[in-house]
Amino acid sequence: MRTSMRGVLGALALMVAPAWADVPGSSDLEILPRFAGAEIVDYRVEDNVARLYPQSALRRISGRLRVDGEIEVVGRLSALTYELPRGHGSSEAFTQARAALLAQGARALHWCEGRECGASSLWANNVFGNARLFGGDEQQAYLLLQLAAPHQDSLLALYAITRATRRAYLHVELLEANAPQGEHLPNAETLLRQLKEAGVLELAQLPAEPVDPWLALLARALRLDTGVRLQLSGEAAPAWREALIERGTRAVRLESTASERPGLRLEWLR
């Protein structure tokens, strides 16, 4: 009877035990839900860490790492790497994490996928210092975000990779800066990718008067795909339309509607 009872209690323990076996002392970030069945396999928290987060593809020229844009931040770093359950690719966890963060008002600063990110080996070794993250260049994705107020002085980086062994990982870094960050601007490629992914782009932070650097940024994004047509709406939408036309966007590509909405809303007219 005692043997039978021990077996029952053991079975109950397995039923209530967590589905993951994280490294000791690790924990999820409060702002980022865990992908179902994922396990934390690397974890560290450090103060006064200097980080350079790329805003472009990575490449090596004459033995040196080259990027076209980057953000340098010093602060408290929380870095964790999830191994995803078998049968799930890294893109699933990346998509879920991206959606959760954008829904909280985080602003995407750089978003790339596949070979457009550059060499996976450079991301793994030179950016994150984690050889576990090396995989096929076509199986990677990277997203850098600035969090919404009251955490606007924090950056969050996501890097997803599926290795040749089919093991998939999501690496997450939260950098809480020691100094005020102000507004970091996204690049044009990221703005266009967000617009095409969601169909709309809310830019409530834009001023009523069309001015640089946002005016130049929107004009560059529209030059990346001259087939994109937009409906602009907001309190100064007609003024933004005229300003973009003056910067070289064809008038036929832009429609506008004035409203009480602050900033500017862009809707892709497909």
Q: In what order do the strands lie in the sheet with 107-113?
A: 39-54, 70-83, 168-177, 154-162, 140-146, 107-113
Instruction: Indicate the range of 10-19, 94-103, 173-182, 236-245 predicted with least confidence.
Output: 10-19
Cα-Cα-Cα-Cα dihedral sign, residues 194, 200, 203, 207: positive
17 has a pLDDT exceeding 60 = no
pLDDT of the residue at 20? 57
Segment 106-125 mean pLDDT: 95
- Which tokens is 64 given? 């040196």
Confidence of residue 14 (pLDDT cuts 50, 70, 90): very low
- What is the crossing angle of helices 214-224 and 237-246, to 10°? 70
pLDDT of the residue at 19? 53
DSSP E strands in 39-149: the ranges are 39-54, 59-61, 64-66, 70-83, 107-113, 140-146
pTM exceeds cut of 0.75:
yes
- Which tokens is 226 given? 């001259």
pLDDT of the residue at 225? 96
Better-scored residue on pLDDT, 128 or 66:
128
Confidence of residue 195 (pLDDT cuts 50, 70, 90): very high
Other Cβ atoms less than 10 A from the Cβ of 105: the count is: 15
The dihedral formed by the CA atoms of 73, 74, 75 and 77, expressed in degrees to the nearest 10? 70
- Which tokens is 155 given? 């950056």
pLDDT digits (tens, 9 = 90+) for 40-64: 999 999 999 999 999 999 888 877 8
Instruction: Tell me if 269 sits within 8 A of 255, measured CB to CB.
Output: yes
pLDDT digits (tens, 9 = 90+) for 73-107: 999 999 999 999 998 989 999 999 999 999 999 99
In degrees rounded to 5, what are phi and psi of residue 155? Answer: -110, 145
Other Cβ atoms less than 10 A from the Cβ of 56: the count is: 17
12 has a pLDDT exceeding 80 = no
